[in-house]
Structure formats: structure tokens, C-alpha cells
């Protein structure tokens, strides 16, 4: 390894560190007690230096306000509940000073139960799965027509679709709201799912793939008496597994992370998807840094796990979005 390589790895490593520091900090902060954060321990250290007061076998953090000869006035902080308990006068002998590593995993449970995150997760999973299935069905049918059949208006419809891809979301956001309002769909699952079950990019991607399948295969199947649909089901789709996986992953990530649409189209707490729920939570718990970090952590966890499992496929699918048509 020469000098140049070392420099390259050094720069990549350093910048990689910068890229992940926000995540690392999110994780370390998520297992700190709020008291530590408020005290200004905001670095990466897990050491907690604190005065502990024990009462009935239960530990409280004590912030000494005024110290007398044998007793002190203290603020007591309930660790388990992650909140201030009371102001009290306690004997000095009941307070002990300690410095040790402490990880507050209970923050995750506290954050998760503070608002119905379970419900939010469920909503997001329902919406994302329906969207992905819908996108794959409408996408494969339409791409199959575009790629293998000849019909009147084919090019016109295709370019109409493609041009629609150029229109930014804010443009159709307001009229969509007007439309969904007329349909009585505001604040329903339909509003989150139905408008998204056809994806132009997916159609484009699958069409490219279907076109690569040799025509001879279709002809042979047709001679054998296969119907069009059977050819799609038995030949075209099995041959396109990896592109279909790409489209599915792409759709799932997009749906999971979408925020503005569900924010506008739903209102009731029962219909909040994860991103919307998280945004409300960030307002409610704005001063509880460690809980916010815990909530952020578990809300990005599913996608990070998916990413770790299928990183090659995911990166390839994002890279394919940059293909020139």
C-alpha cells in the first residue's frame, strides 16, 4: 500500500465518520438520562457523575440546591419515569456520590409508550405494503403492454406518463386535497394508498427490463397456446425477479419515508403514519432530548436493518434511478 492509498483511505474514513456522527450521537443520547443531558453532558461519554438519594429501596438523582451541615435541599429526579419528582430536604448520609457508566435502555420503552407508536408502525406497514403490491401489479401490467404489444396511441400515452414524472409534488398536492375531499377520502387509508398504487418510475423501469426478453420466447409460448396473461405470469415476471425486487424496495422506502402527503391528507391520531406521529411527538416532547433520540432510533431502525440486509440491491436500485432513458 502506497502513500496515496493511505491518504485516500484516511479522507474516506474521516468523511465517513462525519457522515455517521449524527447517528452515533443519536444512539448515545438515546440511552442517557435527561438529567445528564440537561447537566450539559452532551458528548459521547456514558459516564454519569451523580448524587444518588435512596428512599424505600428506590434510587433518585439528587441535584443539591443548598447544602447544610447534616442535611441538604435537593431536587429529586425519578430515573425510571425520566422526570422530576420533587424538591425535598434529605439527610446528607442518605446521599452518595457515584461515577459510573449507565445506559438507560428504558428510554426506548418510555418513548414508545408515550404516544401510540405501535399504532403508527402498524399504519405505516399497512400503507407501505399495500402501495408496494399495488405498484407492482399496475406497473407490471402496464409495462407488459408498453414493452411487448403494439397499439394505437402507445407512444403518446408513454410520453404523457413520463412527462407527468417531471411535475413536482407540490403542484398536485392542493388539487389532490380538493379531489380527495370531494371523494370523502380525507382522513382514510384510501387517501394514503390509492393515489400511490401506480408509479411511473416503476413502469419505466419494468418496461426497460421486459424489452430485454427475447421475442422468440413469446412466439414459442404463443404457439404452445399460452394466453397473454399466462406469458406474463409464467415467463416475463420470473425472468424479471431482480428488477421487480428493485422496484419493490424503491417503493417501500419511498412510502415508508413519505411525510408531507400523510401530514396533509390525514387528521385523526388513529391514522397517523410513523413519520407524522414522530413529527407530533417531536413537538410534544421537544425538551426531552433523550426520548426524542430514542424515538428517532426505533423509527429508522426497520429501514436501516433492511438496508444492512439488502445494501447491494438498494444501492443498485437507487443508482438505476439515474439511468438515462
Q: Hey, which residues between 120 and 149 contact other proteins (CB under 8 A)? A: 137-139, 141-142, 144-146, 149
8 binds other proteins (CB under 8 A): yes
Beta bridge partners of 174: none
CA dist., res. 90 & res. 68, Å (int): 10
Query: Pick from 94, 126, 133, 194: which binds other proteins (CB under 8 A)?
Result: 194
Of 53-61, 73-81, 217-225, 289-297, the window that binds other proteins (rule: CB under 8 A) is: 289-297
Of 48-56, 90-98, 214-222, 275-283, the window that binds other proteins (rule: CB under 8 A) is: 275-283
CA dist., res. 275 & res. 272, Å (int): 8
**Helix runs in the chain, H state only:** 3-30, 34-38, 106-114, 117-148, 154-165, 169-183, 189-193, 200-211, 215-223, 228-231, 237-239, 241-257, 260-265, 274-284, 289-309, 311-320
Q: Find the shortest distance in angstroms from Cβ 73 to other proteins.
A: 24
Query: Pick from 71, 188, 190, 282: which binds other proteins (CB under 8 A)?
Result: 282
User: How are strands ordered across the β-sheet holding 47-55?
Assistant: 83-91, 71-78, 58-67, 47-55, 95-101
Query: Pick from 38, 188, 208, 313: which binds other proteins (CB under 8 A)?
Result: 38
Among 217, 180, 196, 219, residue whose Cα is nearest residue 137: 196
The distance from CA 143 to its chain's CA centroid, rounded to whole angstroms, is 29
Contact set for other proteins, span 43-72 (CB under 8 A): 43
Of 59-67, 109-117, 213-221, 288-296, the window that binds other proteins (rule: CB under 8 A) is: 288-296
Contact set for other proteins, span 233-262 (CB under 8 A): 253, 256-257, 259-260
Of 1-9, 65-73, 96-104, 237-245, the window that binds other proteins (rule: CB under 8 A) is: 1-9
Amino acid at each position: 500500500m502506497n502513500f496515496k492509498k493511505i491518504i485516500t483511505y484516511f479522507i474516506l474514513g474521516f468523511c465517513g465518520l462525519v457522515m455517521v456522527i449524527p447517528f452515533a450521537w443519536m444512539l448515545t443520547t438515546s440511552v442517557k438520562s435527561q438529567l445528564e443531558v440537561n447537566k450539559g453532558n452532551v458528548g459521547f461519554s456514558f459516564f454519569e457523575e451523580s448524587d444518588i438519594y435512596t428512599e424505600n429501596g428506590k434510587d433518585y438523582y439528587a441535584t443539591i440546591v443548598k447544602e447544610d451541615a447534616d442535611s441538604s435541599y435537593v431536587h429529586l429526579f425519578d430515573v425510571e419515569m425520566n422526570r422530576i419528582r420533587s424538591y425535598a430536604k434529605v439527610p446528607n448520609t442518605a446521599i452518595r456520590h457515584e461515577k459510573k457508566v449507565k445506559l438507560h435502555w428504558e428510554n426506548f420503552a418510555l418513548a414508545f409508550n408515550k404516544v401510540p407508536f405501535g399504532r403508527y408502525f402498524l399504519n405505516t406497514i399497512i400503507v407501505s405494503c399495500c402501495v408496494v403490491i399495488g405498484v407492482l401489479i399496475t406497473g407490471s401490467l402496464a409495462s407488459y403492454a408498453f414493452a411487448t404489444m403494439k397499439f394505437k396511441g402507445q407512444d403518446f400515452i408513454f410520453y404523457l406518463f413520463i412527462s407527468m414524472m417531471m411535475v413536482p409534488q407540490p403542484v398536485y398536492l392542493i388539487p389532490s386535497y380538493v379531489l380527495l375531499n370531494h371523494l370523502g377520502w380525507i382522513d382514510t387509508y384510501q387517501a394514503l394508498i390509492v393515489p400511490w398504487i401506480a408509479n411511473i418510475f416503476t413502469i419505466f423501469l419494468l418496461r426497460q427490463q421486459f424489452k430485454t426478453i427475447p421475442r422468440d420466447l413469446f412466439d414459442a409460448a404463443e404457439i404452445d397456446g399460452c394466453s397473454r396473461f399466462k406469458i406474463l405470469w409464467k415467463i416475463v415476471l420470473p425472468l424479471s425477479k431482480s428488477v421487480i425486487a428493485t422496484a419493490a424496495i424503491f417503493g417501500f422506502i419511498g412510502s415508508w419515508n413519505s411525510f408531507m402527503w400523510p401530514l396533509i391528507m390525514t387528521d385523526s391520531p388513529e391514522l397517523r403514519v410513523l413519520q407524522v406521529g414522530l413529527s407530533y411527538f417531536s413537538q410534544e416532547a421537544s425538551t426531552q432530548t433523550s426520548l426524542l433520540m430514542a424515538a428517532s432510533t426505533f423509527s429508522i431502525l426497520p429501514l436501516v436493518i433492511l438496508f444492512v440486509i439488502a445494501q447491494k440491491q438498494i444501492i443498485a436500485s437507487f443508482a438505476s434511478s439515474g439511468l438515462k432513458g
